[in-house]
């Protein structure tokens, strides 16, 4: 259970908050099916409810119980291995060129519309960002070739409020049929030009969706069903400067992918940021970017904490990591060797070596230094499975079969 004290870090976890206050919140608020699934998964993660294994050390005889993970993508306990595997795969595809980190952010005026139309708004965000990069790459006055892009959706700020944006890693150049065209050193495209194309494309796609009756206008945004009010919003959005940041990441191509990996499998809040949950309130650390990145403590009601967290639960099956252009899954098997070959012809550079496939234990050991097969008691023996613990679901099924 959650402690009422507020020790430095890790005194409470997300699962504790849902265990203490989740039922009352659910009774008073309507949750979607995917939100229900996420709450239940996080509650049960690494508990007897999901089953597990009993392992024994052949050296000291210690028996260790390991409960299964929920594997829900919104659970802060379940992302380390998935992140490591994704990072390995992307590092194997790295090109020996300059990369850029570009962030596309939509205005907060769209937050409420996004809340009722997650699939549509997030898909438009991906399309608008890629259109801006693709258009500028194909411009013969700039590069005159086909671009590539990796993008990860991020919907929250440090305070758990909506802050919808894409983190994108973009190779610094374009590919055409006969050659690789590199961008200017340290410079991809003018940010203001990227922003204008991004804004125009997003607003155009949003207007089209409205005209096709694809937007849900209900609850607090029901007034936008009136075309005059909605198109007035679009006019206001076109007058704003949309936020786009572009910078060269540290440590070259590897640094770019390492940086993106932090966002690819990041959850809205990690357990080590939660300080305490008691008396119907939750306290957590957050970084205030508007105040020189100072780390502060925020305390809000448990209901408000749960509400904020649930706004970042993605629709079932929604792809929050996408690749475009010559990095798209359908193209990269052919295009990446092609780019490397063209770079070798021009500069005699070598591609990044591809690592051999590793087991989960080997991967964790190399990347984190943690040997999950080693006995935590004696630090000598290799744990061996001796018993499987059935999950609660399996126990119910077995009980039903026994009585039928």
Both tokens assigned to 363: 């991967």
| Predicted confidence (pLDDT) at residue 276 exceeds the cutoff of 90 | yes
Sign of the alpha-carbon dihedral angle for 252, 253, 259, 260: positive
Whole-number percent of the chain with pLDDT over 70: 89
Distances (CA, A) of 178 to 99, 102, 144, 343: 21, 27, 12, 11
Give me the pLDDT at residue 93, please: 86
Distance CA 338, CA 340 (A): 5
| Mean pLDDT, range 236-248, rounded to an integer | 93
Instruction: Please compute the mean of the pLDDT values over residues 262-286 and round it to a whole number.
Output: 90
243-272 pLDDT per residue, tens:
999 987 767 677 778 777 777 778 899 999
And the tokens for 289? 């970017």
Q: What is the pTM of this model?
A: 0.86
More confident residue, 374 or 10: 374
Rounded Cα distance between 379 and 373, Å, is 10
Domain ranges (residues) in the chain? 31-73+378-403, 80-268+312-347
Token pair 């009010």 is found at 229
Minimum mean pLDDT range among 35-39, 273-277, 365-369, 376-380: 365-369
For residue 365, give both structure tokens: 């050991």
Helix (H, G, I), strand (E, B) or coil at 101: strand
Question: What does the mean pLDDT of the chain come to?
Answer: 88
**Strand 294-301 and strand 281-288: pairing?**
antiparallel
- Going by pLDDT thresholds of 50, 70 and 90, the confidence category of residue 86 is confident
Q: For the residues of 29-81, what is the DSSP string, one character each?
A: S---HHHHHHHHHHHHTTSGGG-EEEEE-TTT--EEEEEPP---TT-TTS-HH
What phi and psi, each to the nearest 5 degrees, are found at residue 111? -60, -45
Task: Report the pLDDT value the prediction gives residue 112, as an integer from 0 to 100.
Answer: 94
**Cα gap 270→267, rounded to integer Å:** 6
Q: State the DSSP string of 231-280.
A: HHHHHHHHHSPPPEEEEPPTTHHHHHHHHHHHHHT--SS-GGGEEEEETT
């Amino acid at each position: 259970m959650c402690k009422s004290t507020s020790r430095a870090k890790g005194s409470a976890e997300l699962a504790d908050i849902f265990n203490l206050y989740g039922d009352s919140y659910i009774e008073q608020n309507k949750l979607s099916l995917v939100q229900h699934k996420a709450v239940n998964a996080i509650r049960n993660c690494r508990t007897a409810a999901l089953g597990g294994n009993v392992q024994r050390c052949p050296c000291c005889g210690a028996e260790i119980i390991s409960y299964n993970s929920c594997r829900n993508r919104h659970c802060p306990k379940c992302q380390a291995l998935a992140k490591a595997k994704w990072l390995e795969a992307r590092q194997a595809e790295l090109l020996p060129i300059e990369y850029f980190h570009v962030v596309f952010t939509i205005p907060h005026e769209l937050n409420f519309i996004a809340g009722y139309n997650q699939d549509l708004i997030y898909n438009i965000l991906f399309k608008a960002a890629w259109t801006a990069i693709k258009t500028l790459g194909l411009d013969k006055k700039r590069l005159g070739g086909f671009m590539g892009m990796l993008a990860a959706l991020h919907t929250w700020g440090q305070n758990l409020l909506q802050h919808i944006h894409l983190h994108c890693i973009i190779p610094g150049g374009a590919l055409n049929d006969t050659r690789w065209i590199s961008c200017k050193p340290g410079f991809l495209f003018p940010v203001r030009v990227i922003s204008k194309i991004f804004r125009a494309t997003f607003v155009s796609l949003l207007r089209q969706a409205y005209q096709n009756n694809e937007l849900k206008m209900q609850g607090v945004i029901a007034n936008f069903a009136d075309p005059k009010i909605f198109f007035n919003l679009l006019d206001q959005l076109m007058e704003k400067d949309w936020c786009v940041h572009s910078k060269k990441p540290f440590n070259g191509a590897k640094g770019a992918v390492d940086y993106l990996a932090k966002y690819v499998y990041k959850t809205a809040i990690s357990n080590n940021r939660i300080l305490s949950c008691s008396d119907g309130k939750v306290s957590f650390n957050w970084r205030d970017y508007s105040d020189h990145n100072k780390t502060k403590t925020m305390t809000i009601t448990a209901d408000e904490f749960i509400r904020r967290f649930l706004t970042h639960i993605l629709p079932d099956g929604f792809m929050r990591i996408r690749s475009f252009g010559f990095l798209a899954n359908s193209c990269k098997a052919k295009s990446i060797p092609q780019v490397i070959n063209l770079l070798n012809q021009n500069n005699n550079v070598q591609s990044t070596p591809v690592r051999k496939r590793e087991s989960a234990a080997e991967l964790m050991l190399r990347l984190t230094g943690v040997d999950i097969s080693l006995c935590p008691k004696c630090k000598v023996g290799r744990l061996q499975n001796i018993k499987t613990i059935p999950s609660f679901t399996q126990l119910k099924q077995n009980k039903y079969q026994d009585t039928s």
